[in-house]
Amino acid sequence: MINQIQHIPILLDEVINALSLTEDEIYIDATFGLGGYTKAILSKQNCKVIAIDRDPETKIVADNLKKVFTDRLYFINGKFSELGKFLEELKICKVGGVVFDLGVSSPQLDIKNRGFSFKLDGPLDMRMSSEGPTAAEFLDVVEENTLANIIFELGDEVFSKRIAKSIIHHRTINKIKTTHQLARIIRDAIPVKKRKIDPATKTFQAIRIYLNDEINELKKGLIAAEKVLKPGGRLAVVSFHSIEDRIVKKFFLKCLKTNSLSRHLPEIPKKEPSLEILTKKPILPSTKEINLNKRSRSAKLRIAMRTNFVSTFGEIA
């Protein structure tokens, strides 16, 4: 099934340029998906890729790519927050670049059984891996206030309280089992009918981010990536909404921050920047790319380069 879905990699040329690929180097594709970036990296340079994805279905794609690139590709079914541990197990200390392409993939959105899309009617699942509760199980037990906060914070939805109230009301009548059931409840709960986007968009996004613990994953993944980069190594992150982009921006700034006072206070070690920011402003897709691929329209790419100074978060091995 996953092999039949088409996915156009987003900001592909920009990401490949950002990585500044060199021969015999090792790169990490932290969000393998349908392997669009991995394939481009391995085709462009005689290097190796360690590809990570938490979705077990992506292994099928990796197995197919391995037929072409053999031992230049190593696939791990796991979470990118654990990439430091994966490298330790492989006895690899440092890598030349790490790329993240956040969020959901085309197959996750376009296969109705995955339950991510309000456009297709499927079981309310929304899990990237098969771990943890499904969206249906979660909505069956969550408290109204907690749900309202999740929808507000992770979906930026001003009608969060109304939506949460309506979900709780409906679940007492009938279990909410499908994506279309949930989408209808959300649409009916929102007074403003004329929105540019489907009224269910923000709530679906919020529940998905919460269930997959995407904010913590991103924070941990960035820290892990910074630790494993060798000096000159690149960190490229493509994000799709303001919550993610804010985290990436803040993280880059934290790694850039120096501790200039410490020169006069020997007990506090002087902190030098561990990352140099290569994109003062994020790189956005061109109008041509947006016209070709609507899913690229909210993408933002930020790039940083590891310096020679010690890691802000501690080195591995």
Ligand X SMILES: C[S@@+](CC[C@H](N)C(=O)[O-])C[C@H]1O[C@@H](n2cnc3c(N)ncnc32)[C@H](O)[C@@H]1O
Q: How far is the CB of 8 from ligand X (least distance, A)?
A: 8
For ligand X, the closer CB: 159 or 204: 204
Using rule CB under 6 A, residue 117 touches ligand X: no
d(CA 117, CA 271): 45
Between residue 217 and residue 236, which ones bind ligand X under the rule CB under 6 A? 217
Residue 110 contacts ligand X per CB under 6 A: no
Give yes or no for residue 244 binding ligand X (CB under 6 A): no
For ligand X, which residue of 2, 31, 245, 306 counts as binding (CB under 6 A)? 31
DSSP secondary structure code for residue 278 in this structure: S
Tokens of 246: 């804010």
Question: Closest CB to ligand X belongs to which residue?
Answer: 36
Which of 16, 18, 34, 42 touches ligand X by CB under 6 A? 34
The CA distance from 250 to 248, in Å, is 6
For the bound state, the minimum distance from the C-beta of residue 52 to ligand X, rounded and expressed in Å, comes to: 5
Residue 87 is a binding residue for ligand X (CB under 6 A): no
Distance CA(44)–CA(177), nearest Å, equals: 45
Instruction: Kindly state whether residue 76 participates in binding ligand X, applying the rule CB under 6 A.
Output: no
Does position 115 interact with ligand X (CB under 6 A)? The reply is no
> Buried b / exposed e across 273-293, counting CB within 10 Å, b at 16+?
bbbebbbeebbbbeeebeeeb
Report CA torsion sign: 66, 103, 211, 110.
Answer: negative
Q: Where are the alpha helices (DSSP H) in 142-197?
A: 144-155, 160-173, 179-189
How many positions of this chain bind ligand X (CB under 6 A)?
21
| Distance between CA atoms of residues 59 and 64, nearest Å | 9
CB 299 to ligand X: min, Å: 9
Of 103 and 199, the one with the shorter C-beta distance to ligand X is 103
Q: How many CA atoms lie within 13 A of 306 on its CB side?
A: 27
Question: Does the protein bind ligand X through residue 79 (CB under 6 A)?
Answer: yes
- Chain contacts with ligand X (rule: CB under 6 A): 7, 9, 31, 33-37, 52-55, 58, 79-81, 101, 103, 105, 128, 217
